[in-house]
Structures are given as structure tokens and as C-alpha cells.
Amino acid sequence: MKRIVILISGRGSNMQTLLDAKLPCEIAAVISNKADAVGLEIAGARGIPTVAISHKDFASREDFDVALAQEIDRYQPDLVVLAGFMRILTANFVNHYAGRLINIHPSILPAFSGVNTHERALQEGVKIHGCTVHFVTAELDHGPIIIQSAVPVLLNDTPATLSARVLREEHRIFPQAVRWICEEQVWLNEQGHVASDRLEQLGSTLTSPGLD
């Protein structure tokens, strides 16, 4: 059974979705860069080891990433999952976990990488928005894509309403991506592309606004 370490920075709603999904893996630990992250309490209440390592205790991003990697490696994970971990990771850290580090991002990448994705989507006037689970590479939010989900952008949407609609999709696709990896149905091939032995391409479409 594969071992997973989850990294969070806050409430951990995506982490909680993974815990509720009864995945075929062992959640070895939940680690946060913030000691007051609510997600640590949720994980701890379920008997999962939790650790807080504050990035503020380190002189540089590189020093923090070294300490973080040392803590992660104590649990010998097969997969490291970024579930709302709000830190940009150094290339050395990412390369150390190449092919076994994934992230969920609240946009249809490569559009709207970085932060404030919902505000930017509304400002740009896009009609379809969504979320992406991808392998992490040194280029921010541009790693090989595992799965995406789209939602319509409504005329009266605010960043809050759009975020809530996207979050529901995050909670659907994140456990699926982790399950695929745990069951070795999805992996990175030698060319650095996502490969699979079972992904179905259903051919369905989403048009927003709807056609007459």
C-alpha cells in the first residue's frame, strides 16, 4: 500500500476530502507551514501524525525546503500531495520528489496560474473556469496535467460564488487523481508526460452560455 504525506497551509478542505474518500493508501502524515492551520486539528483527530514547520523560522526559502524535505522523508512517502499548501517550492525540492509530487490548482491550467484565480477569471470575462490536478515541476503551475474539471461562469458570479462552484469540483477530482496514482493507473512516463492504462475519454462538452 502506498504511503502519502499531505501538505497544507490552512483549513485543509481538500485534505479532508482525501481523508473521507477511503483511498487505497496510508496517509502517513499531514504537515503544515502554519502551526494554527485548522487542517492539523482535523487530521490529528483522526489519529494521523501532524507536524508544523514554520517557514518564518528559516532565513531563506531554500533552508525551509531542506527542513521540510527532511521531515517528509521521515515518513518514506510514495506520494506527496499539496492540498492548499501556499508556498512556492524551490527547484531542488521539486526535483527531489519528481514524479511523486502533485498539486491541485483552482483554474483550468495553463490559464490563471498563481493566485487570485477566480478574480482574474471574472476580470478576463471567461465563460468557463475550473480546476486542475497536476504533477509539480519547477515551473509554477505548469506540470503535466492528470485531470481537469470545468464549470460555467455565471453572469452574476462573484469571486466567492465562483470559488465555491470550483471547490465542489476540486473535491471530486482530487480524490480521483490520488486513487489513480495509488492504483498505478496513472504515472509519468520517461518523456515526462502523464500516461495511463485506463483513462476514459467520454467526449462530453461544456458550452457556456448554452446554445439555443
pLDDT, tens digit (0-9, with 9 covering 90-100), for 127-173 = 999 999 999 999 999 999 999 999 999 999 999 999 999 999 999 99
pLDDT tens sequence across 24-76: 999 999 999 999 999 999 999 999 999 999 999 999 999 999 999 999 999 99
Do 89 and 6 have their domain in common? yes
Task: Identify the domain containing residue 154 by its residue range.
Answer: 105-132+143-201
- E-assigned strands of 66-198? 79-82, 101-105, 128-135, 145-152, 186-188, 194-196
Query: What was the pLDDT predicted at 74?
Result: 98
Pair 120, 197 in one domain: yes
In a domain, 90, yes or no: yes
199 vs 197: CA distance, rounded Å: 6
> Whole-prediction pTM value?
0.94
Within a domain: 82: yes
User: Mind telling me the catalytic residues?
Assistant: 105
Domain-located, residue 138? no
158: left (phi over 0), alpha (psi -120 to 50) or beta: beta
Tell me the C-alpha distance between 96 and 74, whole Å. Answer: 14
Tell me: do 120 and 75 sit in the same domain: no
Strands (E), 9-91: 25-32, 50-52, 79-82
Within a domain: residue 212? Answer: no
Same domain as 118, residue 83 = no
The letter for the amino acid at 59 is A
- How many separate domains does the chain show? 2
Cell of 37: 492551520
What letter would DSSP give residue 148?
Answer: E
Asked, for residue 206, whether it belongs to a domain, the answer is no
Cα–Cα distance measured from residue 161 to residue 4, given in angstroms and rounded to the nearest whole number: 31
| 48: in domain | yes
Residue from 155, 5, 145 nearest 76 by CA: 5
| 194: number of Cβ within 10 Å | 17
What pLDDT is recorded for position 212?
76
Is 34 in contact with 10 (CB distance < 8 Å)? Answer: yes
- Are residues 57 and 1 part of one domain? yes
In the chain, beta strands by DSSP E: 2-8, 25-32, 50-52, 79-82, 101-105, 128-135, 145-152, 186-188, 194-196
- CATH code of residue 42: 3.40.50.170
**For position 207, what pLDDT does the model report?**
77
Does pLDDT of 205 surpass 80? no
Same domain for 121 and 197, yes or no, is: yes
Same domain, 89 and 23: yes
* Residue 211 placed within a domain: no
66 located within any domain:
yes
Same domain for 93 and 3, yes or no, is yes
* CA separation for the pair 35, 51 (Å, rounded): 8
In this structure, the answer to whether residues 2 and 90 fall within a common structural domain is yes
Single-letter amino acid, residue 93: F
Single out the residue of 33, 39, 36 nearest to residue 19, CA to CA: 39
